[in-house]
Chains A and B, each alone.
Chain A
Amino acid sequence: MNNQGLSTYFKFSNVNWGNMWGATWETLWITVVSVVLVAIFGILLGLLLYETTGSNNLIVRGLNALVALFVNVFRSIPFIILIVLLLPVTQTLVGTQIGPKAALPSLIFSAAPFYARLVELAFHEVDGGVIEAAESMGANKWQLIYKVLIPESMPALTSGITVTAISLISYTAMAGAIGAGGLGQLAYTDGFQAYNNAITFTATIIIVLIVFAFQFLGDFAVRHLDKR
């Protein structure tokens, strides 16, 4: 019955700081690992979408349609449902259904298709003349990708991963609510279920700070990368 009154937000004496830092560390850990993996899978998927777009070859077009379908389906599933849906997959891939590790598959399945779309867009925005110039100089497909496509779209790739990272932070919190650990879990179990608003409030502030930090880092990197 003491879950009443605004002052409960500020009863910081109820906060177990050891647990709080532990949860913060877990959230950061899941976020960073998933961002890295999402970046890798997203770029690969985005590249596949980009390379298979507008081809005359039937097989390539079929592949494009398949990848596009995969991307669209996983982008549409609400995250909270996706976690539950993927529980057997998670069990198979990482051997457990609880803890930070268990959050990774659903985080990646959810965010990688989203980022893949951003990657595809970024690649399409690379100046066609520059690509033609590189081709005219005898660049092969691989050189075209890592010497032209990726460096020339770096600012867009970076701002895309920043946006994705921020939704990943919010997803990790959601995953936390069903046992993946981190600030989400702490806010849910120790905050909400234990009527301890100060814990929920502190977890919120830390998450907001993490989001700000990612946004700042992303913006800084984009400014630094963009020589246009």
Chain B
Amino acid sequence: MIEFKNVSKIYQTKSGRVPAVQDVSLKINTDEVFGIIGFSGAGKSTLVRMMNGLETPTSGELLIDGKSNDNLSKNQLREQRRKIGMIFQHFNLLWSRTVLENIMFPLELGKMSKAERVEKAKHLAELVGLSDRIDAYPAQLSGGQKQRVGIARALANDPAILISDEATSALDPQTTDEVLDLLASIKQKLRLTIVIITHEMHVIRRLADKVAVMEDGRVIEEGTVAKVFTHPEQELTRKFVNVETDTGPNEDVKPVIGELLQKYPEGQLLQLKFHGDQVKMPIVSEMLHQFPDLQLSILQGSVRQLQDSSGSIGSLFVQLVGSEEDIREALKFLNTMRVETEVYNHE
């Protein structure tokens, strides 16, 4: 377990004291995937770098499996670092080494025979799907392949913890998904705690069990991904979640909404939000059965799967046309089915 207890980091610069991390307390359980989301400058990178001692807290305490990094000698700290793998936004591979040599790098730092190193690195290359490129140099690889090498390298010393520092931020969406799939499969195959820093909710949704939202060095919201996605409390969290779940009418839908509002002035434009199992239930069709006089047009819909399979989020934009009473009753029905509704009016 990784425990941050009231951790702060303040940088002393010429222009004064700059707080990077302020009074952060977090618990990250063993074998959990923990996401930390926030914009750049929120203090995420500083926070996770305390785990391998690349940064030291100004105040507060960080315990990994009950032990603090503070009193470690330089040698002990290096030993500790070998148990924590890290992957980076810009991959940070050595251009002068081939794929295999890059993966072997962390193994060379310890005491392992050359034959063992080659054996292990080949195995890791296979794990990340790069067996056929082991003699290539990083410059010859695509971004996604480079990050695969980064992942293999980070896993070389069989770490207990893997830190991913914006590992997909330099990649295009499709490559991002490939890398996320790889991390997901690694999570399945190997037992390790993964700490992910990102500014993309997509990454959190795909991988994380728990998430903490950081702003200005503080953790402003924290909880299971399912909870934070369905009931975001802070404004910033809502922003991140909204980007991910289309909870506003998107640009394509807007003109249609305008037309429909004009064509059916008596109609009611609604956004329905479904959480968890509601996504799979025929709630809308049930509603139409109960109120057969209602007309319904579907404008836009989407379903997103959260990492833990209990969590799904559905969003549906519909227009209801009918008597005021029917519409009111229908809204009540949706309410009893615990579907959140949001009403859009003429602008």
Interface residue ranges, A against B (CB under 8 Å)? 127, 129-130, 132-140, 143, 147-148, 151-152, 154, 225, 227-228
Q: How far is the CA of A154 from the CA of B96 in the complex (A)?
A: 9
21 contacts between A and B (CB under 8 A): A127-B92, A132-B54, A132-B92, A133-B86, A133-B88, A135-B81, A136-B54, A136-B81, A136-B84, A137-B82, A137-B153, A137-B157, A138-B79, A138-B81, A138-B106, A139-B78, A139-B109, A140-B109, A147-B109, A227-B96, A228-B139
- Which one of A138, A143, A154 has the greatest number of beta carbons of chain B within 10 Å? A138
**B153 partner residues in chain A, CB cutoff 8 A:** 137
B126 in contact (CB, < 8 A): no
Cβ contact within 8 Å between A138 and B109: yes
Cβ contact within 8 Å between A137 and B81: yes
Interface of A is mostly: helix
Q: How far is the CA of A140 from the CA of B82 in the complex (A)?
A: 12
Cβ contact within 8 Å between B94 and A151: yes
Q: How far is the CA of A152 from the CA of B273 in the complex (A)?
A: 53
The 8 residue pairs across chains A and B that have the minimum distance between CB atoms: A133-B92, A138-B81, A138-B78, A129-B92, A227-B137, A137-B106, A138-B82, A151-B96
Q: Which of B29-58 contact A (CB under 8 A)?
A: 52, 54
Q: How far is the CA of A139 from the CA of B74 in the complex (A)?
A: 11
B93 in contact (CB, < 8 A): yes
- Distance between B172 CB and nearest chain A CB, rounded to angstroms: 20
Closest to A225 in B: B96
Q: How far is the CA of A227 from the CA of B96 in the complex (A)?
A: 6
B291 in contact (CB, < 8 A): no
Q: How far is the CA of A137 from the CA of B82 in the complex (A)?
A: 5
Interface residue ranges, B against A (CB under 8 Å)? 52, 54, 74, 78-82, 84, 86, 88, 90, 92-97, 105-106, 108-110, 137-139, 153, 157
Closest to A139 in B: B109
In the complex with contacts A136-B84, A137-B105, A130-B79 CB distance below 8 A: no
Q: How far is the CA of A148 from the CA of B105 in the complex (A)?
A: 10
Supply 10 further A-B pairs (C-beta < 8 A) apart from A137-B82, A140-B74.
A132-B92, A135-B54, A135-B81, A136-B84, A137-B106, A140-B78, A147-B108, A147-B109, A227-B96, A227-B138
Cβ contact within 8 Å between A143 and B109: yes
Q: How far is the CA of A16 from the CA of B157 in the complex (A)?
A: 67
- Distance between B91 CB and nearest chain A CB, rounded to angstroms: 8
Cβ contact within 8 Å between B94 and A148: yes
Q: How far is the CA of A130 from the CA of B92 in the complex (A)?
A: 5
**B93 partner residues in chain A, CB cutoff 8 A:** 130
Among B54, B78, B80, B94, contact of A130 (Cβ-Cβ < 8 Å): B94
**B74 partner residues in chain A, CB cutoff 8 A:** 140
- Distance between A123 CB and nearest chain B CB, rounded to angstroms: 14
- Distance between B104 CB and nearest chain A CB, rounded to angstroms: 11
Cβ contact within 8 Å between A152 and B96: yes
- Distance between B65 CB and nearest chain A CB, rounded to angstroms: 17
**B109 partner residues in chain A, CB cutoff 8 A:** 137-140, 143, 147
- Distance between A97 CB and nearest chain B CB, rounded to angstroms: 44
**B97 partner residues in chain A, CB cutoff 8 A:** 151
**A138 partner residues in chain B, CB cutoff 8 A:** 78-82, 106, 109-110
In the complex with contacts A132-B54, A137-B109, A147-B105, A152-B82 CB distance below 8 A: no
Q: How far is the CA of A129 from the CA of B108 in the complex (A)?
A: 19
**A130 partner residues in chain B, CB cutoff 8 A:** 92-94
Q: How far is the CA of A227 from the CA of B97 in the complex (A)?
A: 8
Cβ contact within 8 Å between B90 and A129: yes
Cβ contact within 8 Å between B96 and A129: no
- Which one of B84, B92, B96, B137 has the greatest number of beta carbons of chain A within 10 Å? B96
Q: How far is the CA of A138 from the CA of B92 in the complex (A)?
A: 15
**A148 partner residues in chain B, CB cutoff 8 A:** 94
